[in-house]
Amino acid sequence: MKILIEAECEKNYLAKCHEALRTGLKATFDTRCFGKGYSGYREDFTNYREIIDYVFPDDQPDIIIVECQIAPNLPERINYKGLSDIDIPKAIVLGDFWNVTDSVEHIESFIECLEGHGISLILSYFPQPLEILKKYSKKIDIAFLPTCFDPSIFNSWNCPKQFDVGFLAAGTVEYTHFYPERFQIHNLMRSQENFSYLWAQHPGWQQHTEIHPLVGKEFSKAINSCEIFITTGGVLKNPQPKYMEALASGVVLLADMPIGGPDIGLVNNVNFVEIQSENILDQINYLINNKELCRQIAANGYELAIQRHSCFIRAIEFHAILRALNIYN
């Protein structure tokens, strides 16, 4: 299968899940990327036919994954012209869906844009858009393709366990309406004296071209230095990338059960521990005092991550989605 991905390179971006999916696709299929930051990028191109002929000079891709801007009310969401004239299946990857589902007006505008450009498939990192968007279009298929991780970045690094508990995330140090529970949990953790606690300011949603102690592989090592790592799904209860990244980093994940949690394999007290807000401190103290239980839950979580959520597994699932929808056999 030949895949063209038109998007800016996100290798150095804080969130590693976007480039992870592309890494899995490149390792599994004939996948070629065109965009700022990728080798061979050209600034002079203005339409998709030029890009296709340049990236696949001797053939045509079987599918194009197009970068789509999801901030509402943008006059142009697609980066180049002529996409509707290309007779090749076209897809987008949808991440921050709340930017286009916060109102009927934004949903209708978003769907109108996709249909106008001939997009036939939305691959959503989160399950909610399948229910929210499907009633607005009969032309576009929507599939749940959860976030994934690159094992060369997130793995169990056998770091010395320097902390009992870690919580490194947006919304912990500074309150945000999107993650009110994180601010509350962080303040509760800081007031405790009977366990060690790793926390830090968020490194910022930006490109990090230099090694940062809380970005990429170094972030995974920081997670791995803890016995327990906390994360949450926010007000929308999303299965955030950090769920998979923490599991892959070889710790006990302490988190709320997100929407779609069972579908991605989360089982309470087996491969993660579900947060109970009224007794989170009791949960933490119990886990700290039961090292063998911690070891087993962490091992089960790591197995879940490697077997079901690596970027290479996700590439296979991507192919399965295309086959199920008769887009590519």
Question: Residue 96 maps to which CATH number?
Answer: 3.40.50.2000
Same domain, 29 and 137: yes
**Same-domain check for residues 186 and 86:** no
DSSP conformation letters of 84-146: GG--S-EEEEE--THHHHSSHHHHHHHHHHHHHTT--EEEESSSHHHHHHGGG-SS-EEEE--
Q: What is the number of H-type helices and E-type strands within the chain?
A: 11, 11
Identify the pLDDT of residue 306.
98
Q: Same domain for 302 and 168? A: yes
List pLDDT tens digits, range 294-317.
Answer: 999 999 999 999 999 999 999 999
Q: Which domain holds residue 100?
A: 2-148+311-324
Sheet with 90-94, edge to edge strand ranges:
30-34, 2-6, 63-66, 90-94, 121-124, 141-144
- Clarify whether residues 143 and 247 are in a common domain: no
Query: Length of the chain, please?
Result: 329
First to last CA, the chain: 9
286 found inside a domain: yes
Say yes or no: 59 and 20 in one domain.
yes
In this prediction, residue 96 carries a pLDDT of: 95
For residues 15 and 137, state if they share a domain: yes
pLDDT at 72: 80
- The structural domain count of the chain equals 2
Write out the E strands in 170-216: 197-198
Sequence-ordered list of residues with C-beta below 8 angstroms from that of 79, at least 6 positions apart, any chain: 6, 66, 67, 69
10 Å CB burial of residue 75 (0-12, 13-18, 19+) is exposed
* Co-location of 66 and 171 in the same domain: no
Asked if 288 contacts 227 with a C-beta cutoff of 8 angstroms, the reply is yes
Residue 126 lies in a domain: yes
- Whether 277 is in a domain gets the answer yes
pLDDT of amino acid 231 = 98
The pLDDT of residue 276 is: 83
How far apart are the C-alpha atoms of 250 and 263, rounded to whole Å? 21
What's the rounded Cα separation, in Å, for the pair 250 and 164?
A: 13
Q: What is the Cα–Cα distance from 205 to 15, expressed in whole angstroms?
A: 8
Q: Domain check: are 107 and 186 in the same one?
A: no
Q: Are residues 167 and 300 in the same domain?
A: yes
Q: Tell me: do 135 and 173 sit in the same domain.
A: no
Instruction: Give the tokens for residue 23.
Output: 């890494």
Same domain, 21 and 89: yes
Q: Are residues 45 and 120 in the same domain?
A: yes
**Per-block mean pLDDT, blocks of 10 residues, the chain (329 long):** 98 97 98 98 97 96 96 88 97 96 94 96 98 93 98 96 97 96 96 95 94 96 98 97 98 98 97 91 95 97 98 98 94
Task: Report the distance separating Cα 298 and Cα 158, nearest Å.
Answer: 12
Within-domain flag for 51: yes
